[in-house]
């Protein structure tokens, strides 16, 4: 369902496109590749000069390579467009610091420690989180989930909290709620 119509007339000022693709590699690893691109609908005055309307203010790339355990085994960043040429792009080699980090609880905090604030590029570091969630989607259906282990997605969002009815229906082994109470509440809502 799309968003409701805006409540006032408006004009587009800014476009941000984020494209992420996940690939299965011949060596058994997976590449998750992202591109972030920002453009304006007007000529933008930057400290480094004017950026014409439609020309990228940011055009940045990040690829992480993960193994079947979602541990990052390689990482590479590139920056084709940025506000401060020769300065912004100097940080891209630092994204190799992601190598060795596993995408599991604590991942976001570790990324902030390594690449947050002035230790990284705001846009590339933001892209790391998007690539991490796309990594889960890329590996889904690839036979990487051990059926004897608790599914990684549990407690990752409100619907899959282990005390919720969705977990009782789809992952009963890990359900921690009270099914009788949940069914009573469900029937009251319908």
pLDDT value at residue 3: 93
pLDDT over 90, % of the chain: 69
HSE-up of residue 107 (Cα within 13 Å, Cβ side): 20
For residue range 89-125, what is the model confidence (pLDDT) as tens digits? 999 999 999 999 999 889 999 999 999 999 999 999 9
Taking the C-alpha atoms of residue 65 and residue 58, their distance in angstroms, rounded to an integer, is: 23
Phi, psi of 159, rounded to the nearest 5 degrees: -70, -30
For residue range 2-26, what is the model confidence (pLDDT) as tens digits? 999 999 999 999 999 999 999 999 9
Type and span of the H or E element at 186: helix 179-189
Residue 156 — very low, low, confident or very high, per pLDDT cuts 50/70/90?
confident
Taking the C-alpha atoms of residue 54 and residue 9, their distance in angstroms, rounded to an integer, is: 22
| Region 70-84 average pLDDT | 96
pLDDT value at residue 190: 61
Asked if residue 187 has pLDDT above 70, the reply is no
Number of H helices and number of E strands within the chain? 4, 6
Asked if residue 157 has pLDDT above 90, the reply is no
């Amino acid at each position: 369902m799309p968003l409701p119509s805006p409540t006032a007339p408006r004009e587009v000022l800014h476009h941000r496109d984020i494209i992420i693709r996940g690939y299965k590699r011949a060596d058994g690893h997976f590449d998750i590749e992202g591109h972030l691109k920002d453009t304006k609908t007007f000529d933008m005055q930057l400290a480094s000069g004017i950026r014409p309307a439609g020309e990228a203010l940011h055009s940045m790339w990040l690829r992480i390579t993960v193994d079947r355990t979602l541990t990052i085994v390689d990482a590479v960043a590139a920056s084709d467009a940025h506000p401060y040429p020769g300065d912004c792009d100097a940080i891209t080699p630092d994204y190799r610091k992601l190598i060795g980090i596993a995408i599991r609880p604590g991942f976001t905090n570790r990324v902030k420690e390594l690449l947050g604030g002035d230790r990284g590029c705001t846009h590339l570091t933001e892209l790391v989180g998007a690539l991490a969630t796309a990594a889960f989607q890329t590996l889904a259906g690839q036979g990487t989930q051990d059926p004897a282990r608790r599914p990684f997605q549990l407690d990752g969002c409100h619907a899959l909290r282990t005390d919720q009815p969705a977990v009782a229906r789809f992952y009963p082994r890990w359900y921690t709620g009270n099914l009788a109470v949940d069914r009573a509440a469900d029937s009251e809502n319908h």
